[in-house]
Structure 1
Amino acid sequence: MDADAYRPGAGDLVDGCYELSDSLGKGGMAQVWRAREVSDGREIAVKFLRHDSEALHCLDPQEREAELTVRNARFQREARLLGTLDHPGIPELYGSGSHQGMPYIAMRLVNGVSLRTFLDEHSPLPLATAVAVAAQMAHALACAHTLPVVHRDLKPANVMIDDEGRVVLIDFGIAKPLRSDATRYTAHGSTLGTRGYLAPEQILELDPTTRTDVYCFGCIFYELLTGRPPFPLGADSGLTDKHLNEVPLPPSVHAAGIPEAIDDLVLQMLAKKPDQRPYVDEVLAVLGPFAPRSGDPETRPRTHPDPTAPLRRPEELTTCPRAVPVPPPAVSAPVEGEWLEYRTIDRLCARAESEIASGEPGEAAVRLRELTARVRKEWGDRRPVVRRVWQGAADGLRLAGDFGSAARLYQVVDEALIHGDGPAERAERAVTRLRLAECRLTFGELEAAVAAVDTAGRTAAGLPSELANRVEAVRVAVDVQLTARLTDR
């Protein structure tokens, strides 16, 4: 690039705050240096946007300027995202700015090895080690998806295992917030991601959702379990077609001792259609019984680093905070051994509904969440109060910003708790499906929202006016959000 462009060097003092020591490597768009923070002496990583990459040399001046503008914007967005994401599996942001015209990001230094290096040295992995890596990845992804943010470039080279065994997702350079006001920095015809780890919708240049990450994660998990990706990379020109059309063999074909539940999970993660893949917290739920637990012995053969160590020492783990904090309940839930009392639950539902109507779910709404499993267990699926508890819990979670949890509750209401086909049931079903679509819209699933809005409109047309008005009020609200997102595409 420009002859006078800044090139980082050992001993440079960046912005008067960070003294560079040695280069940790560089890619096509960025380079990373180890540095010392002058104020307290701690070691950190400083990532610089490259203005001298080989790809830029191939462009004419006008194209080069346009590409640099896009890269600068992505780099600034990466800094903003790191400042928002708060999880031990995602590097913390310490600062960002520009030094001698070169944008930089200062962040936590991850001392360890890349998952690519780890796999090259230790494959095949014991099942416990493979699941430990996958579970930690899933925890970090769940944090990002709660916002919601899609990483879009998950691959073994973008996963680190630190010296203590913690798994850390790195390089959010092309990550994308799934908000209606998020700016697009991708031109059609420029597929983002890495060959061999692209979801079908990325290959087809469709909008990503959180389940785009789940597909890429599935490719990595497959390799963790078997020592090979679902479709070998090589120079095979048919790789793209395989990701678009071919169903991979179950992992157990390539490695012994893989439980059927893990086999099924991986194949679901690699489904061609995004809506057929699980959400990342559903992945976590399947992994749970197979993950190492506190007090378990070291896995053999031993590896360094040891990804099972943080799970065997759970006191060293922290949890991802909610995107929007929910106040804790002031009153404890009913004692597990006691029968639930109808009048108590009815009053609790009324209080929660009042909170939800005000737009500020509080203690009662939180209490309903604690009772969802119990009311179904004790009273079954057909009593209206059970549906009322689940509906109130889902509404509270939605208003609190926990759209993934709310979506799962709405889905149960739709599939198991609404009975009959009278006008009231049709209205209830339409509203529930609209709310489910509203939650999934947050994760970029636009087509499902379009279908729900269209179906709700037809349903409302055949209902008595009072019920029709209720459906229409929700339909219009969801349609406004949908229109904003479609306009932004």
Structure 2
Amino acid sequence: MSAEEHRPGARELVDGRYELDTPLGRGGMAQVWQACEVSTGRNVAVKFLRLDSEDLRRLDTRELRAELAVLYARFRREAELLSSLDHSGIPELYGHGLHRDMPYIAMRLVTGVTLRSFLDEHNTLPLAPAIAVAAQAAEALACAHTHPVVHRDLKPQNIMIDDEGVVTLIDFGIAKPLRADATRYTAHGSTLGSRGYQAPEQIMEKEPTARTDIYSFGCVVYELLAGRPPFPLGEDSGLIGKHLYEDPPPPGVYTAGVPEALDDLVLRMLDKVPERRPAIGEVLDVFAPFCPRPGDPEPRPRTHPDPTAPCRRPKDRSVASRPVAAAPPSPSSPGQDEWLDVRVVQQLCATAEQELYEGEPGEATRSLQGMTGRVRQEWGSRRPLVRRVWRLAADGLRLAGDFGAAAPLYQDIDSGLLHGEGPAERAERAVLRLRVAECRLAFGEMAAAIEAVQAAGHTAAGLPAPYATRVEDERRAVDEQITARLADPESTDL
């Protein structure tokens, strides 16, 4: 492999599918072109891996070969991640491959302005557009975290606002899946994250988690509300130390009218301890009361683009999620316009239990996942069958790898569906919390998982033998996952 590979040019046909038109940007790792997909006529973005960067030129032959292998692997991983993330706020993948030995990714063309340019033009924003940007970006980030994937480079330059005000997260080039089996790739001389937006654990080169994104996103939200970053980039002296050790003042110190709830949220997002930062779901919950609603008037002063428009006029949005094939309804599933039949739900539960026993969540499990809200609404929170439906739905999501969706179900069972303080209930709570810990472990939240395992051990010690055995079996399974991660020699390799 050579760093002096082919350089793409206008009118060039890539892989027989995309005709290059105009270069859109060039960074240290990649270059992006606007292109036309020949078969459909739609405009797309084609991203090429750069093989001619100055960093690569400095390497000898052996180092270059190793470095290119890492870069190729990261590029393939970016394509895989984009193919799995289904949200209108994340560019969908159209294709990927090699063009004259140069890796490329073709994806939806995101037009408009970066949030960096938008903030530079408008300085301090009114509250409505600031929260509209933050909420839309948070929804896209929630999609990534559900899989779970951590972006690792959230900053205003990687957030786009199109002419309709729709916000899109871009550049998943150093994004990382948080599965235990995910391969880690470290590039020569690379710095993960961007100066001024790196979480303390990124600066210290520790394992990233979803809460790493929360810190970086907190820096972005701070700037949206305050008109300046928590620690301005111009203050070069001690910038790293400020992110490691100092707490910024609340955004409301710099901008009048910032609600106390938002001040508190942003400061918690910027907590130096990852486990103390809120999850993205809580961030969205705090944003919700302040987000523009359908029918609200246009904010003053006006901005272009107007990020409140998708919130105020949702029917006008022309950008939609890519179509997803719906699973065929189970013939035994109750319709949405009829009351639930206890016998039908019991049969679905029995079938789902068999699916989960075989390790393959199937149609019955998916049906239960779609009716958790209905069973609770129609039958209340104390009926054992309601808890059975929720538990099977959560177990199915966990086994399918959707840890972000499974964890809240387990937590809701613990807090709202499980009643009593007898040995059976105490054992069930311990198991539920261990399942939550397993989900958190998938997001890299090691400390929370260790704490849950220790608490389960104390609970098991005070239970009668049959219940203690059940808790111990679950505790050991999670503890083994923690041990495997701690023993991984690449556990700090970002």
Structure 1 length-normalised TM: 0.87
Task: Answer yes or no: is the 8 Å Cα contact 1:43–1:109 preserved in 2.
Answer: yes
Residue 431 of structure 2 corresponds to which residue in structure 1?
Answer: 431
Task: Answer yes or no: is the 8 Å Cα contact 1:97–1:105 preserved in 2.
Answer: yes
User: How far apart are 1:425 and its partner, in Å?
Assistant: 4.1
CA offsets, 1:85-133, max 9 Å, x none? 1211111111111112211111111111111111111121111101111
User: How far apart are 1:63 and its partner, in Å?
Assistant: 2.2
Q: In the alignment, residue 64 of structure 2 is paired with which amino acid? A: R
User: Residue 74 in 1 paired to residue 77 in 2?
Assistant: no
Task: Answer yes or no: is the 8 Å Cα contact 2:70–2:187 preserved in 1.
Answer: no
Residue 449 of structure 1 corresponds to which residue in structure 2?
Answer: 449
CA distance in structure 2 between the partners assigned to 1:322 and 1:150 by the alignment: 23
Q: How does 1:112-191 map onto structure 2 within 5 Å?
A: 112-186=112-186, 191=191
User: How far apart are 1:371 and its partner, in Å?
Assistant: 5.1
Q: In the alignment, residue 65 of structure 2 is paired with which amino acid? A: E
User: How far apart are 1:349 and its partner, in Å?
Assistant: 8.5
User: Residue 193 in 1 paired to residue 193 in 2?
Assistant: yes
- Among residues 336, 346, 353, which one is paired with 1:357 in the alignment? 353
Residue 93 of structure 2 corresponds to which residue in structure 1?
Answer: 93
User: How far apart are 1:332 and its partner, in Å?
Assistant: 4.3
User: How far apart are 1:415 and its partner, in Å?
Assistant: 5.6
Q: In the alignment, residue 183 of structure 1 is paired with which amino acid? A: T
Task: Answer yes or no: is the 8 Å Cα contact 1:44–1:108 preserved in 2.
Answer: yes
Q: How does 1:237-386 map onto structure 2 within 5 Å?
A: 237-315=237-315, 316=317, 318=320, 330-332=334-336, 354=350, 357-358=353-354, 359=356, 360=361, 361=365, 363=367, 366-370=370-374, 372=376, 385=382
CA distance in structure 1 between the partners assigned to 2:19 and 2:197 by the alignment: 36
Residue 223 of structure 2 corresponds to which residue in structure 1?
Answer: 223
Q: In the alignment, residue 367 of structure 1 is paired with which amino acid? A: M
CA offsets, 1:38-67, max 9 Å, x none? 223222111111111122233333223222
Q: How does 1:22-61 map onto structure 2 within 5 Å?
A: 22-61=22-61
- Pick closer, same or farther for the CA change 1:477–1:226 going to 2, 3 Å: same
* Other structure's SS at 1:31 match: strand
Task: Answer yes or no: is the 8 Å Cα contact 1:189–1:205 preserved in 2.
Answer: no
What is the aligned-residue identity percentage?
61
Q: Which range moves more in the overlay, 322-331 or 409-418? A: 322-331
Task: Answer yes or no: is the 8 Å Cα contact 1:394–1:410 preserved in 2.
Answer: yes
Q: How does 1:393-404 map onto structure 2 within 5 Å?
A: 393-401=390-398, 402-404=402-404
Task: Answer yes or no: is the 8 Å Cα contact 1:139–1:284 preserved in 2.
Answer: yes
* Other structure's SS at 2:247 match: coil
* Other structure's SS at 1:104 match: strand
C-alpha RMSD over aligned residues: 3.1
CA distance in structure 2 between the partners assigned to 1:234 and 1:273 by the alignment: 25
User: How far apart are 1:345 and its partner, in Å?
Assistant: 11
Gaps of 5+ in 2: none
CA distance in structure 1 between the partners assigned to 2:469 and 2:154 by the alignment: 45
Q: Which range moves more in the overlay, 26-35 or 237-246? A: 237-246
Q: Which range moves more in the overlay, 89-98 or 463-472? A: 463-472
User: How far apart are 1:457 and its partner, in Å?
Assistant: 3.5
CA distance in structure 2 between the partners assigned to 1:254 and 1:75 by the alignment: 40
CA offsets, 1:378-420, max 9 Å, x none? x7xxxxx278745752551342245334323433554677677
CA distance in structure 2 between the partners assigned to 1:323 and 1:462 by the alignment: 49
CA distance in structure 2 between the partners assigned to 1:107 and 1:149 by the alignment: 18
Q: In the alignment, residue 299 of structure 1 is paired with which amino acid? A: P
Q: Which range moves more in the overlay, 228-237 or 162-171? A: 228-237
Task: Answer yes or no: is the 8 Å Cα contact 2:353–2:392 preserved in 1.
Answer: no
CA offsets, 1:199-221, max 9 Å, x none? 11111211111121111111101
Q: Which range moves more in the overlay, 416-425 or 27-36? A: 416-425
- Pick closer, same or farther for the CA change 1:203–1:189 going to 2, 3 Å: farther
Residue 84 of structure 1 corresponds to which residue in structure 2?
Answer: 84
User: How far apart are 1:234 and its partner, in Å?
Assistant: 1.5
CA offsets, 1:199-246, max 9 Å, x none? 111112111111211111111011111111111111423111211221
Task: Answer yes or no: is the 8 Å Cα contact 1:456–1:475 preserved in 2.
Answer: yes
Task: Answer yes or no: is the 8 Å Cα contact 1:164–1:305 preserved in 2.
Answer: yes
CA distance in structure 1 between the partners assigned to 2:238 and 2:378 by the alignment: 51
CA distance in structure 2 between the partners assigned to 1:107 and 1:444 by the alignment: 28
CA distance in structure 1 between the partners assigned to 2:164 and 2:460 by the alignment: 57
Residue 339 of structure 1 corresponds to which residue in structure 2?
Answer: none
CA distance in structure 1 between the partners assigned to 2:117 and 2:454 by the alignment: 49
